[in-house]
Amino acid sequence: MSQRVREILSWYGSDNPGMLTNLARILNHGRLAGTGRVVILPVDQGFEHGPARSFAINPAAYDPHYHFQLAIESGCNAYAAPLGFLEAGAREFAGAIPLILKVNDHDTLQDEKDPTQALTGSVLDALRLGCAGIGFTIYPGSMQRLKMYQQMRAYAEEAKRHGLVVIIWSYPRGSSISKAGETAIDVCGYAAHLAAQLGAHIIKVKVPTSHVEKEAAREVYEKEKIPVATLPDRIRHIVQCCFDGRRVVIFSGGATDSDAEVLEEVRGIHAGGGFGSIIGRNSFQRAKAQALELLATIMSIYAGNGAP
Amino acid sequence: MSQRVREILSWYGSDNPGMLTNLARILNHGRLAGTGRVVILPVDQGFEHGPARSFAINPAAYDPHYHFQLAIESGCNAYAAPLGFLEAGAREFAGAIPLILKVNDHDTLQDEKDPTQALTGSVLDALRLGCAGIGFTIYPGSMQRLKMYQQMRAYAEEAKRHGLVVIIWSYPRGSSISKAGETAIDVCGYAAHLAAQLGAHIIKVKVPTSHVEKEAAREVYEKEKIPVATLPDRIRHIVQCCFDGRRVVIFSGGATDSDAEVLEEVRGIHAGGGFGSIIGRNSFQRAKAQALELLATIMSIYAGNGAP
Amino acid sequence: MSQRVREILSWYGSDNPGMLTNLARILNHGRLAGTGRVVILPVDQGFEHGPARSFAINPAAYDPHYHFQLAIESGCNAYAAPLGFLEAGAREFAGAIPLILKVNDHDTLQDEKDPTQALTGSVLDALRLGCAGIGFTIYPGSMQRLKMYQQMRAYAEEAKRHGLVVIIWSYPRGSSISKAGETAIDVCGYAAHLAAQLGAHIIKVKVPTSHVEKEAAREVYEKEKIPVATLPDRIRHIVQCCFDGRRVVIFSGGATDSDAEVLEEVRGIHAGGGFGSIIGRNSFQRAKAQALELLATIMSIYAGNGAP
Amino acid sequence: MSQRVREILSWYGSDNPGMLTNLARILNHGRLAGTGRVVILPVDQGFEHGPARSFAINPAAYDPHYHFQLAIESGCNAYAAPLGFLEAGAREFAGAIPLILKVNDHDTLQDEKDPTQALTGSVLDALRLGCAGIGFTIYPGSMQRLKMYQQMRAYAEEAKRHGLVVIIWSYPRGSSISKAGETAIDVCGYAAHLAAQLGAHIIKVKVPTSHVEKEAAREVYEKEKIPVATLPDRIRHIVQCCFDGRRVVIFSGGATDSDAEVLEEVRGIHAGGGFGSIIGRNSFQRAKAQALELLATIMSIYAGNGAP
Amino acid sequence: MSQRVREILSWYGSDNPGMLTNLARILNHGRLAGTGRVVILPVDQGFEHGPARSFAINPAAYDPHYHFQLAIESGCNAYAAPLGFLEAGAREFAGAIPLILKVNDHDTLQDEKDPTQALTGSVLDALRLGCAGIGFTIYPGSMQRLKMYQQMRAYAEEAKRHGLVVIIWSYPRGSSISKAGETAIDVCGYAAHLAAQLGAHIIKVKVPTSHVEKEAAREVYEKEKIPVATLPDRIRHIVQCCFDGRRVVIFSGGATDSDAEVLEEVRGIHAGGGFGSIIGRNSFQRAKAQALELLATIMSIYAGNGAP
């Protein structure tokens, strides 16, 4: 067990050894094992955007086994997916990689102004499938957010009692936030902090822009001269918003970008002290060989080995 | 046990042997036993459209025993119906055919823009009636869909623990979808995938048209040149959307068609690799002799014996 | 055990000795131990206003350990915070200061006219973290208030059975109350009384102004010549509204003020017989040395030792 | 919080902060606060031996308040008693001293060869009375012991979840053990170890003699030359048996002895690294002034201030 | 994941992927990772025989951390112990080695003719401590055995639902069996089979002798000429008794033997196709360096690398 992993575990003093064991399983798996950095493969796009928009570009990805294999071969720390995708491979790949059950999900067949998600999995599902943790999405900014926080709380209490890691996807969204605001630095920082206050062990937010959405926040960002110009600045700020670095926070990109764009972003996250990335579309929407190459480069950046 | 049935059972590695046993009961019953193809007789029309619209054309069908007999005599794999219809014959026909309890239902005395269904049966009902599985309808596209997914999740968790097969009727419907959109290829594929992600063992969707409903989807269908021109193409795509063939997906027609139309459709489903049909109105709204003849022809198509 | 603390405990004759023990833990801790006066450090600002607006002015405060240390070093009676902040330090600071788990919380990413809060912690969370009590916010004046009262009731019943102190943050707010009305003497008095009637052991309200919001109330305040001109007058009235002094009521300021303003207010609360203050932003939004100095002065006022 | 108390708390890594808080309450209370040494007043003699045998020698001790006062005035770390005695004073003395509810008890109206105890209190009783922990007696050596261990296990699981300290009175007794064997070094060491393995946070055993009861043990004590000649030797061995010093173990004497005998024993416990004493009959069966004097001397020995 | 581990996992088709994941954690940890062979360090001797008889010969072993370290450094597949020993190190060593909670235990302060064990841990304890499985002892041959089987059944059902591995220590003992009979080949084979029939995933029995205890069995062993002359013969027979090799069965020695004796036995187990050893006293009752050397040699025998 590396010194860094021990240090990270030490932040979770209110959790039982069961949760620490599962967190260690994630931190000690794959190419980044022991570094304290984390790259997770999430595949909830099929639920979120439908199968064709998610997988037609790389039809092998229609097969649930593909994603287990991609996560394992690339050396990701964990693979996260909804119930159906995990059920379709959990026996075949048992023990091969830490799993995270996404316990709520959302589709886009309706386009609500104030979205929420459906509860689609349970803590007992996570245990029977051998998962190391559960993933839960909240939408700060939605009129439905308070109800989502309450659902999260109940799941988190049960998960923690059973020794599971709780990961919150904190995605600002809803009628009070502009499209640009969803990735605004103030909103992302707020969303990350909310997830930490709700008791998340690992927090997932989008890579923030330098836009500041809320008037009340802008005054503070300007007055206190909070540096948000560069990506490392912004990452550093998000880390600060997550209990000054006492909680693991990782970042997701979004729609498919060029390799160069993805790597530039990863370098920024690394430079700013972010703990890692959750890379969905930019991995499974590439041909497997290319995805493996990109993920290898990403992980070598996080491992601090430099990169091409 | 045929090789094909073994192969199908192998896809359900996260389920217990109880569920596999019930799935095998369905797959190994009737004329299509062992082929891996499935034809199910569903009779929830009385609840959905009222008795006169459902049965007046063939008054024998007012009698619940009629449907048990039709399913048995025609050699269907299973018979699916709401609580009342099953309770009215489960003793008399105990052991004669696998039963599926439809655990939620909807009437059309109101015409909601965003419909949902009422929970009308329980997992315990299914067990006490000797059912092999439960059937649950979801309406992707309805504002009520997330609540339906949550209800489904709870039913599925309980059903799986008790070894029952979970069948989702995934019928897109609601304020965000046009009438044509309900059978659009993109929407049907999405609906089928949602059912699979929610943990369905068997998925039932409508036969899709080549219409593409959603803008975001159309871009992908065109760019990736997803073939949707012929019915076999579309069936093949739906099968792909169901975990690349790792989940059983079957198709329903709808209102009564001519024999020729029905058989044309079945030939398309068969050619595209669909697992079978769920045939309600086109069977019980015909005189019994004609229904038996049509069903026999359908099954011989699925059995790959050719057809007139 | 001082005579005053005994007297205060004697007011809670329907509570079990477990609750009295925890109330005594709060009253007997820190610089004001035994005086019957109470100063509590609350840090739910991060949840309420976001991390940057809360902590950028004093970046050390991003670290959850900072607040434990500030509360301990300043000699506060207790430290109150949401789940995440308490979980992040409860092991390291176990036994060092009475903790209060804020079990509901609210963010300001939406700006509802009739706000409510999300349930974010449980009574069992409070017990496993070693808390002496729970804190619950209600918004009298909001259309959501009755639901909040009901949630509170359920929490209070469970908390009291387990020997925990129940503290209600009673903050008038919502469509029926003007901005000025939120601190109006009639509304504050009413809100304090509601909290007492709901079974609060400790009540927290804002420092009231002499404004009278409601017509029906104004008639009475004028007719009965209720003195509300000076701050001590108003505090005396609030104490009266809290069962004529038989419940502990403490006061919160709000956004950061000058030291002089804060101290002036504290002198008023002290002169009017208020039991103390809950001081969040005016402590953690100052540099630590200044915060410690200000809190020391505040406590010496409450201790009746005079003040600079 | 002293360094020593921090060190002791660090041994309980599988417990929640609630348990640590209550353990800290005990360790930080009274004259020995912060030293890591513990003196507890237990008064379950009335239940065990009847009131006259227990209290007639010092009739003030019939009054339950007497024992609260004795524990408080003497500066004990905690007061332990059965339900009735605690209920009779818990309100009056709430917050004045950490309480321990003895949740099982035994009377001597029968003289079983293989005794057990009755469950006489619950975890919820402990919480409603404001206790810091529960006390549970086991009788290793009794034919009933396994059932007692099981009862203990259930109590401990519930107590730990609610943040209470679990103290096991481990008193060898029963048909397989001679009278001398009840305090034999091998039997006491075994009994202490059993309590630790059962999950006790604090272990209470009798002061052991150098007698070795069991043949199988004697071989080992002789072969390994385990030093048991002096009391400090034996205490050191018991501490070793309690996870090599990673669990708090305290010692009880028994029937009333002379002051000199008691102090001699305490010096031995102190010299051998024992954590303290639980002193019942030797305190409440003396006149209060003498008891206070004796307890003061005992505590000064434990505090390492020397002794007269 | 090695082919052999996959093969072993394939035997447990009625278990959920959670159990397979935890079984894979055990099979893939330590020096024998991937070989399908297993060496487990069990330390329940302190409970069974008392601390002095267990640890005095190697006093470092009084410290619970010692055993975690020994198991980790030697590269054992797992470490098994009662609640107290696991609680005393589960936080410090979280994630470092698969843990097995011994959920029932027995002491030897009584010497019952028909022994049973006390339930000393729960499935939830195992989960909160991060264990991969639970260990449960049964005493076939005891008058208490049927009650033990029932207790086991309830534990196993709960453990399996939560994805934990169930290990049965099957130790024939009791009034119906002679001392020699406890390790008789017929009795050991019967005991191993009972454990398998009770649903154990891993079975632990003693190394059998060629003695046949029961008359009814002797007739068959002789008539069918079951080979039991050599240790490999007997091991082969035990493996056969465990569902013809479809359950993992491992062997325990007993009191400390010479290195040569231990290794001879291990060679026999290996030659007979046994899956491995559970080595308690022969590891922790040696000085650490010697224990590490012995365990290394044992593991190289199991790994098939030859041995000195």
Q: Shortest CA distance to A75 belongs to which of A295, A305, A307?
A: A295
Q: According to the model, what pLDDT value does residue E1 have? A: 87
Residues of E in contact with A162 (CB under 8 A): 124, 127-128, 162
Query: Which of A:67-96 have CB within 8 Å of B?
Result: 82-92
**What does the alpha-carbon distance between residue B89 and residue B97 come to, in Å, rounded to a whole number?**
11
**What does the alpha-carbon distance between residue C16 and residue C70 come to, in Å, rounded to a whole number?**
31
For A2, nearest residue in chain E (alpha carbons): E96
Q: Does E have 3 or more CB contacts under 8 Å with D?
A: yes
> Per-residue pLDDT for A255 more than 50?
yes
The Cα of C223 is separated from the nearest Cα of chain A by a number of Å equal to: 42
Q: What DSSP designation does A198 have?
A: T
- The rounded Cα B267 to chain-centroid distance in angstroms is 17
Query: Which of D:211-270 have CB within 8 Å of E?
Result: 214, 216-217, 220-221, 224, 226, 237, 240-241, 243-244, 246-247
Catalytic residue among B113, B204, B223, B225: B204
- The rounded Cα A21 to chain-centroid distance in angstroms is 19
Q: Shortest CA distance to E110 belongs to which of A139, D181, B120, B52?
A: D181
Q: Shortest CA distance to E64 belongs to which of D45, D247, C200?
A: D247
Active site residues of D: 204
Catalytic residue among A204, A214, A225, A288: A204
> Per-residue pLDDT for A82 more than 60?
yes
Q: Using 50 as the pLDDT threshold, list the residues of chain B that sit under it.
A: 306-308
Q: Is the ipTM of this complex over 0.90?
A: yes
Query: Is residue C308 very low, low, confident or very high in pLDDT (cuts 50, 70, 90)?
Result: very low
**What does the alpha-carbon distance between residue E196 and residue D259 come to, in Å, rounded to a whole number?**
61
Q: Shortest CA distance to E234 belongs to which of E269, E194, E200, E204?
A: E269
Terminal Cα distance for chain C, rounded: 29
Round the average pLDDT of chain C to a whole number and report it: 96
> Per-residue pLDDT for C307 more than 80?
no
Q: Shortest CA distance to B199 belongs to which of B238, B173, B168, B172?
A: B168
The arithmetic mean of pLDDT across residues D12-19, rounded, is: 98
Residue D88 · residue D65 · CB < 8 Å: yes
Q: Residue C301 is inside which H or E element, if any?
A: helix C288-302
Q: What DSSP designation does B243 have?
A: G
Tell whether E17 lies on the interface with B, counting CB pairs under 8 A. yes
Pair of tokens at residue A270: 């690394």
Residues of D in contact with C20 (CB under 8 A): 90-91, 94-95, 130
- Enumerate neighbours of D (3 or more CB pairs within 8 A): A, C, E
> Greatest CA span in chain D, whole angstroms?
56
Residue C88 · residue C65 · CB < 8 Å: yes
Tell whether A51 lies on the interface with D, counting CB pairs under 8 A. no
| Residue D118 φ then ψ, to 5° | -90, 145
The Cα of A38 is separated from the nearest Cα of chain E by a number of Å equal to: 16
Report the interhelical angle of B64-74 vs B288-302 (nearest 10°): 40
Tell whether D3 lies on the interface with A, counting CB pairs under 8 A. no
Flag if D16 and A16 touch (Cβ within 8 Å).
Answer: yes
State the best of D16, D21, D157 to mutate against chain A, taking most chain A CBs within 10 Å.
Answer: D16
Q: Does B have 3 or more CB contacts under 8 Å with D?
A: no
Residue B249 · residue B201 · CB < 8 Å: no
**What does the alpha-carbon distance between residue C194 and residue C169 come to, in Å, rounded to a whole number?**
11
One-character DSSP codes across D71-96: HHHHT-SEEEE-HHHHHTTTTTTTTT
- Percent of the residues in chain A that have a pLDDT greater than 90, as a whole number: 95
Sequence-distant (6+) residues with CB within 8 A of C187 are C140, C141, C172, C177, C181, C208, C213, C214, C217
Residue D8 · residue D27 · CB < 8 Å: yes
One-character DSSP codes across E30-94: STTTTTT-EEEEE--HHHHH-HHHHHTTSGGGGSHHHHHHHHHHHT-SEEEE-HHHHHTTTTTTT
Flag if A189 and C88 touch (Cβ within 8 Å).
Answer: no
- Percent of the residues in chain A that have a pLDDT greater than 70, as a whole number: 98
Partner residues linked to B104 by β-bridges: B119
The Cα of E220 is separated from the nearest Cα of chain B by a number of Å equal to: 35
Residue E74 C-beta-side C-alpha neighbours within 13 Å: 32
Pair of tokens at residue C183: 């601190």
Residues of E in contact with D200 (CB under 8 A): 84
Tell whether E106 lies on the interface with D, counting CB pairs under 8 A. yes
> Greatest CA span in chain C, whole angstroms?
56
Round the average pLDDT of chain D to a whole number and report it: 96
Query: Is residue D257 very low, low, confident or very high in pLDDT (cuts 50, 70, 90)?
Result: confident
Partner residues linked to E79 by β-bridges: E41, E99
> Greatest CA span in chain A, whole angstroms?
56
The two beta strands, C248-252 and C276-278, are parallel
Tell me which residue in D15, D146, D187 faces E118 most closely, judged by beta carbons: D146
Query: Is residue C121 very low, low, confident or very high in pLDDT (cuts 50, 70, 90)?
Result: very high
- Enumerate neighbours of C (3 or more CB pairs within 8 A): A, D
Tell whether E148 lies on the interface with A, counting CB pairs under 8 A. no
**What does the alpha-carbon distance between residue D32 and residue D30 come to, in Å, rounded to a whole number?**
6
Flag if A16 and D14 touch (Cβ within 8 Å).
Answer: yes
State the best of A4, A21, A86, A161 to mutate against chain E, taking most chain E CBs within 10 Å.
Answer: A21
Q: According to the model, what pLDDT value does residue A305 have? A: 61
- For the stretch D265-296, pLDDT in tens is 999 999 999 999 999 999 999 999 999 999 99
Tell whether A18 lies on the interface with E, counting CB pairs under 8 A. yes
Pair of tokens at residue D3: 């360094």
Tell whether A63 lies on the interface with B, counting CB pairs under 8 A. yes
Residue E119 C-beta-side C-alpha neighbours within 13 Å: 19
- For the stretch C228-253, pLDDT in tens is 999 999 999 999 999 999 999 999 97
Burial class of C258 by CB neighbour count within 10 A (0 to 12, 13 to 18, 19+)? exposed
Higher confidence at residue D229 or residue B305?
Answer: D229
Residues of D in contact with C16 (CB under 8 A): 128-130
Return the exposure string of B213-224: e unless at least 16 CB atoms fall within 10 Å of the residue's CB, then b.
bbeebeebbeee
- Enumerate neighbours of B (3 or more CB pairs within 8 A): A, E
pTM confidence score: 0.96
- For the stretch C20-74, pLDDT in tens is 999 999 999 999 999 999 999 999 999 999 999 999 999 999 999 999 999 999 9
Pair of tokens at residue D234: 């034996």
* pLDDT string in tens for chain E (308-residue length): 899 999 999 999 999 999 999 999 999 999 999 999 999 999 999 999 999 999 999 999 999 999 999 999 999 999 999 999 999 999 999 999 999 999 999 999 988 999 999 999 999 999 999 999 999 999 999 999 999 999 999 999 999 999 999 999 999 999 999 999 999 999 999 999 999 999 999 999 999 999 999 999 999 999 999 999 999 999 999 999 999 999 999 999 767 789 999 999 999 999 999 999 999 999 999 999 999 999 999 999 999 864 43
Question: How far, CA to CA in Å, does C305 sit from each of B191, C38, C282, C297?
Answer: 72, 15, 22, 10
Tell me which residue in D16, D94, D163 faces C20 most closely, judged by beta carbons: D94
> Per-residue pLDDT for A2 more than 70?
yes
Residues of D in contact with E113 (CB under 8 A): none
Q: Does C have 3 or more CB contacts under 8 Å with A?
A: yes
> Per-residue pLDDT for A308 more than 50?
no
Q: Is the dihedral of CA D207, D211, D214, D216 positive or negative?
A: positive
Flag if E16 and B16 touch (Cβ within 8 Å).
Answer: yes
Terminal Cα distance for chain A, rounded: 29
Q: What DSSP designation does E144 have?
A: T
Q: According to the model, what pLDDT value does residue B257 have? A: 82
Active site residues of E: 204
Extended strands (E) in C171-288: 202-206, 248-252, 276-278
Tell me which residue in A18, A25, A129 faces E17 most closely, judged by beta carbons: A129
Q: B206 an active-site residue?
A: no
| Residue A224 φ then ψ, to 5° | -85, 0
Q: Is the dihedral of CA D209, D210, D211, D212 positive or negative?
A: positive
One-character DSSP codes across C28-96: TSSTTTTTT-EEEEE--HHHHH-HHHHHTTSGGGGSHHHHHHHHHHHT-SEEEE-HHHHHTTTTTTTTT
Question: How far, CA to CA in Å, does D232 sit from each of A31, A201, B274, D207?
Answer: 54, 47, 82, 10
Q: Shortest CA distance to D217 belongs to which of D186, D173, D180, D183?
A: D186
Residues of D in contact with A14 (CB under 8 A): 16-17
Partner residues linked to C276 by β-bridges: C38
Residues of A in contact with D11 (CB under 8 A): none
Q: Residue D118 is inside which H or E element, if any?
A: strand D118-119
Residue D236 · residue D273 · CB < 8 Å: yes
Query: Is residue A212 very low, low, confident or very high in pLDDT (cuts 50, 70, 90)?
Result: very high
Flag if E52 and D11 touch (Cβ within 8 Å).
Answer: no
Residue A36 · residue A8 · CB < 8 Å: yes
Query: Is residue C304 very low, low, confident or very high in pLDDT (cuts 50, 70, 90)?
Result: confident
Question: How far, CA to CA in Å, does C48 sit from each of A178, C51, C146, C250, E117?
Answer: 20, 9, 21, 20, 54
| Residue E208 φ then ψ, to 5° | -85, 155
Residues of E in contact with A6 (CB under 8 A): none
The Cα of C86 is separated from the nearest Cα of chain A by a number of Å equal to: 9
Query: Which of D:193-212 have CB within 8 Å of E?
Result: 193-194, 196-200
Q: Residue D178 is inside which H or E element, if any?
A: none
Tell whether E10 lies on the interface with B, counting CB pairs under 8 A. no
